[in-house]
Structure 1
């Protein structure tokens, strides 16, 4: 895939998938209406803002790496040619999914909306099942030993404090 096509496809997928899942659906569920802070604690709103501020750049960085380093898109129909093992992927295997869930949970905390918190938790479970049932077997088939080494050194959901250095990132 040409670099320009990878960038375009990745931008389109970003708008469609996370744009809908972390933007349109939460708006539809909440109307972006601010409710009383959860537990009556204004600090909960600040935690929500923090999660949104962390999740958004993590998501954008992860998507950019798929196009610029992976030579493809995050969309299963137009996958990368290279396994992405740089940036935040040196800390955790699924920063993109974590970023989406963090953003939605952040919205729920900021807005004081328990329904959004439940949606974020359910989406986390759906992502987990998708990763186990489709993504990991597909990546193992595509990248073999390289992916096995990545899995052996980088956890699926809990980030490493120190980044892993593969032969490709050293």
Structure 2
């Protein structure tokens, strides 16, 4: 039995899950966006990269990407918390397999949303290094999902997860079919 499966067997209180999400929220909603805006601009200057200055387009496109991305990511976190008794944190995993809500469009809506939002922040800030940071972050998340999380979900949820994995795309959404 993997460490993830052991963590999943422990029932967590709602208060405990909220308290665990606070530092994660600070990291993903404040510190990483701050690094993309301020840190990336510094990297751009250090390496002489040009500004990604498209005028108003930066603000419109960046704003759209941020709103869509954060909405999708927060929707998936809300579902993990409210419908599946868990969190996105590996040590406080969901108690049920989520296949509805944002998880009907792709298996990793939180990753898709977060990377989209971070790309929006980088576009809004007009920083090429910020786009690179967002894409590197996304690559690391995808590696984690492919190398660890998918195996853990197959171990915990068995055939139900394997069927879901066959039917729902990994990260690029597909609109649900109407029957």
Bin of the TM-score, shorter chain as denominator length: 0.7 to 0.9
Residue in structure 2 matched with residue 105 of structure 1 by the alignment: 119
Q: 8 Å contact 2:72–2:113 — kept in the other structure?
A: yes
Residue in structure 1 matched with residue 7 of structure 2 by the alignment: none
The answer for unaligned runs of 5 or more in structure 2 is 1-10, 42-49
CA distance in 1, matches of 2:159, 2:147: 19
Q: 8 Å contact 1:48–1:109 — kept in the other structure?
A: yes
CA distance in 1, matches of 2:119, 2:95: 32
Matched, 1:27 2:41: no
Which of 1 and 2 has greater Rg? 2
1:76 Cα deviation (Å)?
0.9
1:42 Cα deviation (Å)?
2.6
CA RMSD across the alignment:
2.7
1:8 Cα deviation (Å)?
4.7
Query: CA distance change for structure 1 residues 133 and 8 in 2, over 3 Å: closer, same or farther?
Result: same
Residue in structure 1 matched with residue 156 of structure 2 by the alignment: 142
Residue in structure 2 matched with residue 129 of structure 1 by the alignment: 143
Q: How does 1:42-57 map to 2 (within 5 A)?
A: 42-57=56-71
The answer for unaligned runs of 5 or more in structure 1 is 166-170
1:163 Cα deviation (Å)?
5.8
Query: CA distance change for structure 1 residues 67 and 6 in 2, over 3 Å: closer, same or farther?
Result: farther
Residue in structure 2 matched with residue 67 of structure 1 by the alignment: 81
Q: How many residues align?
A: 162
Q: List 4+ stretches of structure 1 deviating above 3 A.
A: 11-15, 31-34
1:18-71 deviation per Cα after TM superposition (whole angstroms, max 9, x unaligned) = 53135213314533999x972534313211100111112212211111111111
Q: 8 Å contact 1:13–1:74 — kept in the other structure?
A: no
CA distance in 2, matches of 1:39, 1:164: 41
Q: 8 Å contact 2:51–2:128 — kept in the other structure?
A: no
